[in-house]
Amino acid sequence: DTGVSQNPRHKITKRGQNVTFRCDPISEHNRLYWYRQTLGQGPEFLTYFQNEAQLEKSRLLSDRFSAERPKGSFSTLEIQRTEQGDSAMYLCASSPRRLLANYGYTFGSGTRLTVV
Amino acid sequence: AQTVTQSQPEMSVQEAETVTLSCTYDTSESDYYLFWYKQPPSRQMILVIRQEAYKQQNATENRFSVNFQKAAKSFSLKISDSQLGDAAMYFCAYRGSGNTGKLIFGQGTTLQVKP
């Protein structure tokens, strides 16, 4: 599999519950990005990793959000105490650092979160 | 802060005809990169075409081409010989010259292709 894989594809949760999403990037890509996309809007940057280091976090990423990338491989995005406003598509993307500018990202299919 | 604006929420085109999607952006940087991404109903974003700001020549990829006007901060996408498979949401995106690599996306344009 040469693509970016995200699981689960869909998640429905009750308000106040915690959820965790997983992203498996392309194996040789050392950069990994998380974006959030609400219905009818463009994706918004949340955070990114270079290998295992989380190098930037958006102000959109409140204290209830945490992302990890142990060992520089897969990444998880956890949302604690979910709120209805967290309902969105969460997109993961990866890129090789050296070719970042030339080729853009490879995106996964996303995880759609619905908070009821 | 950089912004990207797509002023056409929806566009439609007849199959085999040409359509142009508009994008404007605002930045104080002189070196940056611009992209068009396609998001079909399956939701996976696919890179369509990219343009480096330092290049004057407009990028072309098969039926897709851009009209990059740096002074006007405009970056439109032209799709020639439109096909049914071109129906999707199209996003214009900006990446600065910094090391982060994060993209700033426009609001998107939904393209409908009529048979």
Q: Are B107 and A41 in contact (CB < 8 Å)?
A: yes
The pLDDT value recorded for residue A102 is 61
- B64's tokens: 């897709």
Q: Are B42 and A100 in contact (CB < 8 Å)?
A: no
**Of residues A111 and B30, more confidently modeled:** A111
Q: Are B103 and A105 in contact (CB < 8 Å)?
A: yes
Rounded to whole angstroms, the Cα distance separating A51 from A70 reads: 9
pLDDT, tens digit, for every residue of B39-94? 998 778 999 999 999 988 999 999 999 999 999 999 999 999 999 999 999 999 99
The pLDDT value recorded for residue B109 is 97
The pLDDT value recorded for residue A116 is 96
Query: B33 touching A, CB under 8 A?
Result: yes
Q: Are B103 and A31 in contact (CB < 8 Å)?
A: no
Residues of chain A with pLDDT under 70: 1, 98-103
The pLDDT value recorded for residue B94 is 95
Give how far A18 is from chain B: nearest CA, Å: 24
Q: Which residues are CB-neighbours of B82 under 8 A, at least 6 positions away?
A: B13, B14, B15, B16, B17, B18, B19, B63, B113
The pLDDT value recorded for residue A104 is 74
Give how far B91 is from chain A: nearest CA, Å: 7
Query: A39 touching B, CB under 8 A?
Result: no
Query: B64 touching A, CB under 8 A?
Result: no
Q: Which residues are CB-neighbours of B91 under 8 A, at least 6 positions away?
A: A42, A43, B6, B36, B37, B38, B39, B45, B105, B106, B108, B109
> Does B105 score more than 80 pLDDT?
yes
Q: Are B45 and A42 in contact (CB < 8 Å)?
A: no
The pLDDT value recorded for residue B19 is 98
The pLDDT value recorded for residue A100 is 60
